[in-house]
Amino acid sequence: MEAPIALNTNWGMLGHEWAVNLLRRQIADGRLGHAYLFTGPLGVGRRSLALRLAQAVNCTQPPAPGEPCGECRACRGFGRGQHPDLLLVERQEGDREIKIDALRALTRSLSRTPLEARYQVALILNFHHASEEAANALLKTLEEPNPSVLLCLTALDADSIPATVVSRCEVLRLRPLAPETLTPALQSSLGIDAAQAHLLASVSQGLPGLAIRMQQEPALLESRGQWLDVLHDLLFANRVKRFAFADKASKDRQQLKNILLVWLSFWRDVLVGASGAGVTLANVDKAAEIGSLGQKIGFPEAAAALQAVERAVTQLETNVNARLALEVLLLELPWLPS
């Protein structure tokens, strides 16, 4: 028999107690909204909170109002993201955006009554990827909600999607957790020691989903270490070696983006170190290297490097040539004497 989904008084979420309490009260008081927009960075828990909400509103044997049991058929199905009344929409692999046809098909599906659950739940992931036409196609559903439909959208932030959509949703802005908050939560939920939990909480920059993935997939932490080692070597490398790396790394656009995101967190730490601010580093295991580099290059050069990496990450979201973007970035990074 399949084990029940473990849910605690915080719906099994790591952090975001304020959001869970708000939604729980709305359900208990019969004030559930028809549409919610969960915003925040990838890995902060937007999708998880939406699925927990789906469980809470559809649980057939709630231990308390607004509290999912985690054991009934509805809780199991929605918890896994596999329930006949859960309609999931996201950008398809190879597409640049969520297309209008996907939203039109969703609208048609929402016109029917739920097959099993109390509410039919539509979960649209990363709505900031929706085309303008696709976003507009959702407006009628938002304006004339079916009482048996719950719409859940996720996005990076409210500014990244049309104001006409935002105004018709209740917005819950999820933020990364402080390391001192996430560390004990990871210890408890993952059964790991304090040192490992602190490393994950810091390296993930307070993103519970990313921290859990890193623990479950050790290769992610190993890759991070390798990419930081590569960055260290490149700072001492000449132009030929830098361009050779650009040629190799640019062949896999998604992996290159992952590399740059790791570099981005590193340069943010270097900037913090160069400024002398007493802020907790994300890359706590690289504290000595970060402090030394910050002293060598100073605040202006650290800020310039951070801006260069940010620019390259943004360019990779468009059709900019990946190799060219990386070559330009590598020319802008500091050159250290060997």
Is 89 in the same domain as 225? no
Is 166 in the same domain as 228? no
**E strand or H helix that includes residue 123:** strand 120-124
Is 155 in the same domain as 29? yes
Q: Residue 207 in contact with residue 41, Cβ under 8 Å? A: yes
What is the CATH classification number for the domain harbouring 302?
Answer: 1.20.272.10
Is 53 part of a structural domain of the chain? yes
What is the CATH classification number for the domain harbouring 60?
Answer: 3.40.50.300
Is 66 part of a structural domain of the chain? yes
Q: How many domains does the chain have?
A: 2
What amino acid is encoded at 9 in this protein? T
Is 125 part of a structural domain of the chain? yes
Is 21 in the same domain as 167? yes
Best CA proximity match to 199, nearest among 265, 270, 284: 284
The per-residue pLDDT string of the chain (338 residues; one tens digit each, 9 = 90 and over) reads: 344 455 667 999 999 999 999 999 999 999 999 999 999 998 999 999 999 999 999 999 999 999 999 999 999 999 999 999 999 999 887 788 899 999 999 999 998 899 999 999 999 999 999 988 999 999 988 988 889 999 999 999 999 999 999 999 999 999 999 989 999 999 998 999 999 999 999 999 899 999 999 999 999 899 999 999 999 999 999 999 999 999 999 999 989 999 999 999 999 999 998 988 777 889 999 999 999 999 999 999 999 999 999 999 989 877 789 999 999 999 999 999 87
Find the domain containing 221 and state its range.
Answer: 217-332
Is 307 part of a structural domain of the chain? yes
Is 163 in the same domain as 68? yes
Is 106 part of a structural domain of the chain? yes
* Residue ending a domain, choose from 173, 197, 225: 173
* Residue ending a domain, choose from 108, 138, 173: 173
Is 203 part of a structural domain of the chain? no
**E strand or H helix that includes residue 38:** strand 35-39
Is 44 part of a structural domain of the chain? yes
* Residue ending a domain, choose from 138, 173, 208: 173
**E strand or H helix that includes residue 172:** strand 170-173
Best CA proximity match to 40, nearest among 171, 215, 223, 231: 171
pTM, rounded to two decimals: 0.82
Q: Residue 13 in contact with residue 52, Cβ under 8 Å? A: yes
Is 155 in the same domain as 236? no
